[in-house]
Amino acid sequence: MADDIFTYAPAPESRSVVRLRSSYGLFIDGAFADPAEGRSLKTVNPADEEVLAEVAVAGEADVDRAVAAARRAYETVWGPMPGAERAKYLFRIARILQERSRELAVLESLDNGKPIKETRDVDLPLVAAHFFYYAGWADKLGHAGLGADPRPLGVAAQVIPWNFPLLMLAWKIAPALATGNTVVLKPAETTPLSALVFAEICQEAELPPGVVNIVTGAGETGRALVAHGGVDKVAFTGSTEVGKEIARTVAGTRKRVTLELGGKGANIVYDDAALDQAVEGIVTGIFFNQGHVCCAGSRLLVQESVAEDVLERLKRRISTLRMGDPLDKNTDIGAINSAAQLDKIRELSGIGDDEGAQRWTAPCELPSRGYWFPPTVFTGVTQAHRIAREEIFGPVLSVLTFRTPAEAVEKANNTPFGLSAGVWTEKGSRMLWTANRLRAGVIWSNTFNKFDPTSPFGGYKESGYGREGGRHGLEGYIRG
Amino acid sequence: MPDTISPPGLTASNASLRAYLHGLPGVDEVGAAQRAAGLATRSIKTTAKAQAIDLAIRMVDLTTLEGADTPGKVRALAAKAVHPDPADPSVPRVAAVCVYSDRVAIAVEALRGSGVAVASVATAFPAGRAPLEAKLADTRQAVADGAAEIDMVIDRGAFLSGDYLKVYEEITAVKEACGDAHLKVILETGELVTYDNVRRASWLAMHAGADFIKTSTGKVSPAATLPVVLVMLEAVRDFRAATGRRIGVKPAGGIRTTKDAVRNLVLVNEVAGADWLDPAYFRIGASSLLNDLLMQRTKLATGVYGGPDYYTLD
């Protein structure tokens, strides 16, 4: 009845701002070039499985050329350049990113499947903010508390994931360039397009050739890059499994490493929390970016005395989430990034059923084409369940309960990961008590999934090592 | 009317009321503002916008609350309420005309048989600083003159000093004086300041018998901000879940554009639910808003934006 009174009409963002090429080469030494072996891969729109473009696959010879170009640029131009001059390039890149943000937001939604609301309001503003922030550091490195005359490391090999393609690129490239390093970056094979447009932006900003090189490809390309003898630094964001492999590869070499890996973040809701806002935080924590977030609050720890109330509010709220076309401005939940990821989410959710947890799924219709998984909540989950221990990396929340603050902390810390946690209470002393005892790199107080370039980000335990963002983020690219 | 839905002993003392109201879940200010800002980015276009505009017009309480209100001004407003756009009979009429109590008789006369209700502010609006007897006399007069809806103000001084019982008893007394007239309770959220206070005052008013809770008098800024409306919509939603009674919400003050109105409707839709998308449960107290709704309505239908000269002042 009320549907006839007020139903949101489709409000799609126009695709016309994006000029997709049918195929893309590698960006090496300031120019796009074909790969030596002529292999390519296709990148698809996960919302409808339509092929967006063909992208080159870099082999060992290509990686070798890219590293050599980066080395040359480091030694002849970028390394010797005064910080104030490097800053000008970074500021210029930041401004072009802002100018082209609409185009990049649409492109990111097309290639990744995430809603335009997020690329427009979260990804792109943060991308530009990271470049602005690190541009500001470039001529002030002597004041960063990292020694009087901090020196760059040289050539950085950077491998990034598909969940925040352009933002992860910004997290990697901005601090590396600000500190005087040059980079070879490999975007994920399912989301290479925004990195290739970023290469165009480097050209537009007249960044000296070789300072930024983009090599596309899958795991094999990443392996060749990380193992390359000409690389001084490896920075990786992605799965713990691949992170371990990288750590083994670089062990015993001169290469410095930072790893930002998986997580199984706990979101602790005490009985005195502001419940409506806590529910918002739970939703943001696990359904932001379809749960494709390493610091997602995928484990809800709720105090038993309010568990029923919180779950009721949570389910009602989840039922209002709008799932569908990522380019529709009113879409809250977009598509799962790939068929492989969808299989993994289905498999782990199936294990949740088998282990006896109760599955609840939001009442929403799934589009017939593309990769989709509805927002899902498992209740009756215990610490022993696999869905409470393994990273699902999808819109699946595991709900556990606790009785006392000590139990909450114990359960939150009882995981091989340690990337993020959230705490919800109106009582300041309990907030501080809890935060002091949680072993996680970032702890959000009465909020979740809040990012800022000035704040360091990174993990404990199997969530990796090193910090990105803030003053701390400079450290991984500097010889003290 | 005896209160049958409140917890037993709720109004035994200030202490019991305080324990109850302060036991409600808190409101995190940053989180509430963020949620409201998020919903404000909803993109309401084409058919949805047309639906929203007509719905908003039907929800308007067309208001004039000036010392300078003359019988002529009230009659003009009444005419506007029935035919908001004389050139376009497809425009629905507004919900009510809202005037001071001594102008009720004129409004009732002008609106007889039109389907537009007469609402009257009462209880020493806007400050509420008067003896209870005066407030009740004000209310009774308005009802006797034919007001179908009474918009009362709470005693903010009493609320802020912790005298919740006084606020409660005044509301119940006014409710009784209302008889069959609907009671809207104005919280004046701009003076309550915190969202915790807004939530507590909402529950206090609902337990005391309010049919509607209303944000503001329009005489204090800030008035109907989106986070305040959000908190009040959460309150009516939770109150229905707890008691089965559906209470209305009326933002008033500061809603001047179609965009403001649509954002309020989105909030209603996604926070309280579509059940509240009805003039019986959501009103917008406004004056200049109506012309903007009419201009946007015409623009949507014809593609041409007429400009203010093509719409009547009142």
What is the per-residue pLDDT for A3? Answer: 52
Smallest Cα distance from B39 to chain A, Å: 9
Distance CA(A79)–CA(A153), nearest Å, equals 9
Considering only alpha carbons, which residue of chain B is nearest residue A277?
B31
Torsion of CA A429, A430, A432, A436, to 10 degrees: 140
Report the CATH number of the A266-445 domain: 3.40.309.10
Distance CA(B163)–CA(B289), nearest Å, equals 36
Cα-based distances in Å from A419 to A414, B244, B267? 13, 43, 34
Counting every residue written for chain B, the total comes to 314
* Chain A residues in contact with B269 (beta carbon < 8 A): 6
A-interface mutation test, from B39, B43, B233, B269, most A Cβ less than 10 A away: B43
* Chain A residues in contact with B31 (beta carbon < 8 A): 274, 276-277, 280-281, 446-447
Asked if residue A378 lies in contact with residue A399, where contact means CB atoms within 8 angstroms, the answer is yes
DSSP bridge partners of A266: A299, A421
Torsion of CA B46, B50, B51, B53, to 10 degrees: 130
Considering only alpha carbons, which residue of chain A is nearest residue B270?
A320
Amino acid at A175: P
Amino acid at B267: L
Interface contact flag, B274 A5, Cβ < 8 Å: yes
What ipTM was predicted for this assembly?
0.95
How many Cβ pairs closer than 8 A exist between chain A and B? 77
Asked if residue A26 lies in contact with residue A62, where contact means CB atoms within 8 angstroms, the answer is yes
Instruction: Using 70 as the pLDDT threshold, list the residues of chain B that sit under it.
Output: 1-4
Considering only alpha carbons, which residue of chain A is nearest residue B31?
A277
B-interface mutation test, from A276, A321, A448, A449, most B Cβ less than 10 A away: A276
Distance between first and last Cα of chain B: 39
Interface contact flag, A11 B43, Cβ < 8 Å: yes
Distance CA(B107)–CA(B64), nearest Å, equals 11
* Chain A residues in contact with B265 (beta carbon < 8 A): 6
Smallest Cα distance from A9 to chain B, Å: 5
Cβ–Cβ contact B28 with A under 8 A: yes
Structure tokens at A166: 């352009």
Which among A13, A108, A118, A260 is annotated as catalytic? A260
Distance CA(A195)–CA(B90), nearest Å, equals 53
Structure tokens at A326: 């990522």
Distance CA(B186)–CA(B175), nearest Å, equals 13
Distance CA(A225)–CA(A213), nearest Å, equals 12
Strand pairing class (A266-269; A376-379): unpaired
Among residues A455, A287, A460, A296, the alpha carbon closest in space to that of A390 is found at A296
Structure tokens at B1: 């009317």
Interface contact flag, A7 B48, Cβ < 8 Å: yes
Which among A13, A202, A294, A475 is annotated as catalytic? A294
Asked if residue B97 lies in contact with residue B105, where contact means CB atoms within 8 angstroms, the answer is no
DSSP string, A2-18: HHHH--PPP-BPPGGG-
CATH topology of domain A15-261+460-479: Aldehyde Dehydrogenase; Chain A, domain 1 (3.40.605)
Interface contact flag, A8 B48, Cβ < 8 Å: yes
The burial class, CB within 10 Å (0-12 / 13-18 / 19+), for B57 is buried
pLDDT tens-place string over residues B38-93 = 999 999 999 999 999 999 999 999 999 999 999 999 999 999 999 999 999 999 99
What is the number of other CB atoms lying within 10 angstroms of the CB of residue A281?
28
Q: Check if A260 is active-site.
A: yes
What is the per-residue pLDDT for A164? Answer: 98
Asked if residue A287 lies in contact with residue A375, where contact means CB atoms within 8 angstroms, the answer is yes
* Chain B residues in contact with A3 (beta carbon < 8 A): 274
* Chain B residues in contact with A278 (beta carbon < 8 A): 28
Residue A265 backbone phi and psi in degrees, to 5: -60, 140
Asked if residue A290 lies in contact with residue A441, where contact means CB atoms within 8 angstroms, the answer is no
Residue A312 backbone phi and psi in degrees, to 5: -65, -45
Interface contact flag, A277 B35, Cβ < 8 Å: yes
Is residue A114 helix, strand or coil?
A: coil
What is the per-residue pLDDT for B6? Answer: 85
B-interface mutation test, from A1, A3, A4, A5, most B Cβ less than 10 A away: A5
Smallest Cα distance from B164 to chain A, Å: 22
Provide the annotated active-site residues of B.
151, 214, 250
What is the per-residue pLDDT for B306? Answer: 84
From A2, A11, A446, residue closest to B31, measured CB to CB: A446
Domain boundaries, chain A: 15-261+460-479, 266-445
* Chain A residues in contact with B43 (beta carbon < 8 A): 8, 11, 329-330
From B26, B55, B234, residue closest to A6, measured CB to CB: B55
From B26, B31, B44, residue closest to A281, measured CB to CB: B31
pLDDT tens-digit profile, chain A (480 residues): 445 789 999 999 999 999 999 999 999 999 999 999 999 999 999 999 999 999 999 999 999 999 999 999 999 999 999 999 999 999 999 999 999 999 999 999 999 999 999 999 999 999 999 999 999 999 999 999 999 999 999 999 999 999 999 999 999 999 999 999 999 999 999 999 999 999 999 999 999 999 999 999 999 999 999 999 999 999 999 999 999 999 999 999 999 999 999 999 999 999 999 999 999 999 999 999 999 999 999 999 999 999 999 999 999 999 999 999 999 999 999 999 999 999 999 999 999 999 999 999 998 889 999 999 999 999 999 999 999 999 999 999 999 999 999 999 999 999 999 999 999 999 999 999 999 999 999 999 999 999 999 999 999 999 999 999 999 999 999 996
Smallest Cα distance from B49 to chain A, Å: 8
Give me the domains of chain B, ranges plus CATH numbers.
23-300 (3.20.20.70)
Cα-based distances in Å from B152 to A184, A247, B222? 68, 69, 19
What is the per-residue pLDDT for B4? Answer: 61
Structure tokens at A406: 């000590």
Cβ–Cβ contact B46 with A under 8 A: yes
* Chain B residues in contact with A276 (beta carbon < 8 A): 25, 27, 31-32, 35, 234
What is the per-residue pLDDT for A2? Answer: 44
Which pairs from A35-41 meet CB under 8 Å and 24+ separation? A35/A59, A35/A62, A36/A61, A36/A62, A36/A65, A37/A61, A37/A62, A41/A189, A41/A216, A41/A217, A41/A218
From B44, B234, B275, residue closest to A2, measured CB to CB: B275
Asked if residue A182 lies in contact with residue A155, where contact means CB atoms within 8 angstroms, the answer is yes
Asked if residue B287 lies in contact with residue B63, where contact means CB atoms within 8 angstroms, the answer is yes
- Any alpha helices (H) in A219-338, and if so which ranges? 219-227, 240-250, 275-287, 304-318
Cβ–Cβ contact B61 with A under 8 A: no
From A5, A275, A276, residue closest to B277, measured CB to CB: A5
Asked if residue A133 lies in contact with residue A102, where contact means CB atoms within 8 angstroms, the answer is no
Distance CA(A245)–CA(A314), nearest Å, equals 39
From A3, A121, A275, residue closest to B25, measured CB to CB: A275
* Chain A residues in contact with B278 (beta carbon < 8 A): 2, 5
From B28, B47, B51, residue closest to A446, measured CB to CB: B28
